[in-house]
Amino acid sequence: MFPHGGASVDLMFVAALCYMLLQHGRSDSYRVATIRSAPDDNKTADGKFKSRRKEKQQKKSDNLDDLKQELDIDFHKISPEELYQRFSTHPDHGLTHAKAKENLERDGPNALTPPKQTPEWVKFCKNLFGGFALLLWIGAVLCFIAYSIQASTEDEPADDNLFLGIVLSAVVIVTGIFSYCQEAKSSAIMESFKNMVPQFLLCVRMFFVTLATRWMFSPTFQLFLGIVLAAVVIVTGIFSYYQESKSSKIMESFKNMVPQFATVIREGDKLTLRAEDIVLGDVVEVKFGDRIPADIRVIESRGFKVDNSSLTGESEPQSRGADFTHENPLETKNLAFFSTNAVEGTAKGVVISCGDHTVMGRIAGLASGLDTGETPIAKEIHHFIHLITGVAVFLGVTFFVIAFILGYHWLDAVIFLIGIIVANVPEGLLATVTVCLTLTAKRMASKNCLVKNLEAVETLGSTSTICSDKTGTLTQNRMTVAHMWFDNQIIEADTTEDQSGVQYDRTSPGFKALARIASLCNRAEFKPGQDGVSILKKEVNGDASEAALLKCMELALGDIMSIRKRNKKVCEIPFNSTNKYQVSIHETEDPNDPRHLMVMKGAPERILDRCSTIFIGGKEKVLDEEMKEAFNNAYLELGGLGERVLGFCDFMLPSDKFPLGFKFDGDDPNFPLTGLRFVGLMSMIDPPRAAVPDAVAKCRSAGIKVIMVTGDHPITAKAIAKSVGIISEGNETIEDIAQRLNIPVAEVNPREAKAAVVHGGELRDLSGDQLDEILRYHTEIVFARTSPQQKLIIVEGCQRMGAIVAVTGDGVNDSPALKKADIGVAMGIAGSDVSKQAADMILLDDNFASIVTGVEEGRLIFDNLKKSIAYTLTSNIPEISPFLAFILCDIPLPLGTVTILCIDLGTDMVPAISLAYEEAESDIMKRQPRNPFTDKLVNERLISMAYGQIGMIQAAAGFFVYFVIMAENGFLPTKLLGIRKQWDSKAVNDVTDSYGQEWTYRDRKKLEYTCHTAFFVSIVVVQWADLVICKTRRNSIIHQGMRNWALNFGIIFETCLAAFLSYCPGMDKGLRMYPLKFVWWLPGLPFMLSIFIYDEVRRFYLRRNPGGWLEQETYY
């Protein structure tokens, strides 16, 4: 049989895990409640029995639709008394033990339900039998069938088919294990692979043992040996991986977030219980450092703050108290959510949701239950399989009919049919594509893109839309002081280490007063043990805003801790959500001034309301309407920049009323909090990363749409979007147009605005069609204040538009969107374990610019895979055509099966892989993203070039050298026609040549095998030119150059290997390869030059006439 050469990878990966929310015990406050209905008779409306499979799929779909709904509860709205009544609990005594037991039996434990796991042996089987590997298995089975037919009808059957079947089996097994190994390394289960090393060696041994014993064993024994060895490898491989399997990491990551124990009040007693034993209605107490054990309604608090960053993406700690503050349960201050961290204070709350019904549980359900579908490269491989299979079946059936018409026995025609089909199977392609993807993955890792899934390498290159998180991806994830307002001037702050850009006088009274307040009214401290670290890179204990103030003041004033020591703090009122200010009172460092200094910072409007004077130009002035207007203008300007603004004021407490040693009371203030002196404003922002604007510009030139999806405020999101270029300069939103024209927003035609900023509240009320319209008609979009469900809906909307979507994220809230996206990209530094497990790729430096690098690498590997496949498929024609001539022209076989294997698995492999190292062509990031429906990995134009043009020239080279050698030995072409039966008969030892010489069977076969070797060498020679022309699809070789040293090595390697196989002693026994005269290497050279010249001319006209007929017909 005639195999083919080439490359592919097993691209059928594990389907998305199914995760079903528990339905029992759900509160009727949820939007979607479990409704009791009439008993199910298992019949449809028309009386037919229901399909269990469809019913199961429908139930899964309904559950996921339920999860996608916004959280709709009223626990935060109802009065405490109604809350206690609803859950039969008491704020001081909690539940009774009996009620708690009843609730636990009804609702189950407070734990996340794990999804159904995909066993490792199933993953291994998908690598072994999925995708392109299936085509190779079919080829191997057909070989075994052909051999069985021959063995049952002939006394001494040829064992070529058996040998080919065994080799195909070995190739697919070895490559399948290699592919699984690559996934295993990314999934942190590499230890399991160690146990497969003996099986891997057994696969290799199977190939070489079969090769060495080719002429030593009977055909029956060879068949038995090949089948048994293949079975042993498969069974032991599956068993080993099954025994060593580890479960899905996504749910394990969620489990790691679950607290182990919690403090619960039951029947008036404080108990420490396992978190999973908590039930609805339990009264729990949490303190600084605890994880919230369930979703709770806060009923009491003292300076209580939680870190919601993993849930909502907000980096600032959020205050929590008993007051209802917002209709949205995710934004109200009186709810705290399961698995979030308490970072300050203490609180008491009533459990309102447990386990799967918590907000975190719903996110876990979405992340685990989403079906991600096939990746673009998997679809391309399937398309390629269909194309190759179609060509193979067409050729096979066509020539089967021809053979039958020519009078061949039907059994010979069937074997011929199988031979043609198997001849089109590119057995080397599977390994080549796998290695190419792996090399690119390693190259991307060196550029801070860690690929967990080999398919993701190419998917990123196909991306047409990037939905990017803001915090930590587009920005630096560290709050920085951006501007200051004092002495009635807005000053840009300088936070560089060398302070080279200072635009103000540090000795001015206004700055000194503002800096003193920012330094003293601040609880943030540098973590110890950072002596050699620069100020900007030092880690800080404290919230993000205070850390920004601390670093700014440290750069401007020096050692802040010494300033604090010289101004001893004697009293403090911490910031809380009710007052929205922070106060501290200090003894001053001036030994001659016995007064206390009171400093305050907080929400600017609240601070201003407590002031009666303002400090301007070193003088204290009355805070009149003019000054208030100046304040409002500055506040609005800084707020409009998307910056977080804080107000600062101070007051010198009179020494007669507050002498040194006075006992200040922070809980019940015994000092004035009004009539203070306003000093100024400071604004902070999480600044964009330096490389992001350039990266966004590259995306735009590459035709990639960048959408910001953030949980942050719309004003801040819009400001960052403008600063990084997501919203281009000059492009307006409908709000901008309305403001410019001074008309209501409702009167603006939305399609007139190229940019859009969509609030999560608006998104909640949009239909699918309205969302599609926004995505279709606005080129620059920002989604702000979005929930996890909304982020998922945005991704699905982009995919409905036909986009290949990449999503970035770092929090637990991002995991559903990361899982649903065509490629999920998690942050390696700031990212949660859950987001990393849900993603396909991890940015090790958390930098958006690394995504653009990944896009370029993805486009490059797609281009290079095309080139590699084009190179590999080209040799298919000179491999198949000798077989066709052998049947149709009745000539001695020009090229043998074993020799073909030497091409496909020998000389072609390294050159094909070397194309993965080819540099990008100049237009790679200026092209539009490829259309997955029309721009295929293997398209009709590539097949036409490989088979119909270059392949034909290569076949001509092979036949030319074949007829030259035959003629040199006395057999002119006319003499060879119709001689096959005599030539292959062992009984005939007097076949005469064109000059009347008689040839024995042994001499004829020696000449035939010499022709096989020469045909093989001629293919290698013309493949030199094919490899060089495949370097570039449009550029001239002169422009592209020969800087790919891996490719240069590939040319040398295939030449040396061909020479080794031709001249090494013993090859005539093992591989039927015979030494050649040096001159027999030369006939292929003219054909090699013609290939090079032909393709250079073709590309020259491509460049001269872009989009012309030649490009439409030949540019692949």
Cα(869)–Cα(1030) distance, integer angstroms: 9
**DSSP H helical segments within 187-218, as ranges?**
190-194, 197-212
Place of tokens 């073709």: 1098
Enter the tokens of residue 46: 């028309």
User: Per the residue annotation, which of 160, 469, 650, 814 is the catalytic one?
Assistant: 469
Beta strand 341-353 with 295-307 is antiparallel
Cβ atoms of residues 1081 and 1088 within 8 Å: no
Contacts of 39 (CB under 8 A, 6+ apart): none
State whether residue 114 is helix, strand or coil. coil
Cα(3)–Cα(876) distance, integer angstroms: 8
What one-character DSSP code corresponds to residue 291?
A: B
Cα(1091)–Cα(1023) distance, integer angstroms: 9
Exposure string for 85-98, b = 16+ CB within 10 A, e = fewer: ebbebbbeebbeee
Place of tokens 């080794």: 1060
Distances (CA, A) of 474 to 317, 690, 691, 695: 21, 9, 9, 10
Beta strand 480-486 with 676-685 is antiparallel
State whether residue 970 is helix, strand or coil. coil
Sign of the Cα torsion 47, 51, 52, 56 reads negative
Distances (CA, A) of 1092 to 187, 204, 874, 913, 983: 44, 37, 14, 21, 37
Phi first, then psi, for residue 273 (nearest 5°) are -115, 160
Q: Quick one: which H or E segment has residue 451?
A: strand 449-451
Cα(682)–Cα(552) distance, integer angstroms: 11
DSSP-assigned letters across all residues of 796-858: HHHHHTT--EEEEE-SGGGHHHHHHSSEEEEESSS--HHHHHH-SEEETT--HHHHHHHHHHH
Which has the closest alpha carbon to 843: 448, 451, 373?
448
Cα(169)–Cα(1108) distance, integer angstroms: 45
DSSP-assigned letters across all residues of 385-446: HHHHHHHHHHHHHHHHHHHHHTT--HHHHHHHHHHHHHHT-BTTHHHHHHHHHHHHHHHHHT
What one-character DSSP code corresponds to residue 1084?
A: T
Residue 469 known to be catalytic: yes
DSSP-assigned letters across all residues of 473-532: TTB-SS-EEEEEEETTEEEE---STT-TT--S-TTSHHHHHHHHHHHHS---EEPSS-TT
Cβ atoms of residues 809 and 414 within 8 Å: no
- Beta bridge partners of residue 573, listed in sequence order: 583
What one-character DSSP code corresponds to residue 249?
A: H
Cα(728)–Cα(505) distance, integer angstroms: 35
- Beta bridge partners of residue 287, listed in sequence order: 346
Cα(598)–Cα(584) distance, integer angstroms: 6
Cβ atoms of residues 320 and 304 within 8 Å: yes
Distances (CA, A) of 1089 to 237, 393, 953, 1093, 1110: 48, 33, 11, 6, 21
Could you give the residue numbers annotated as active site?
469
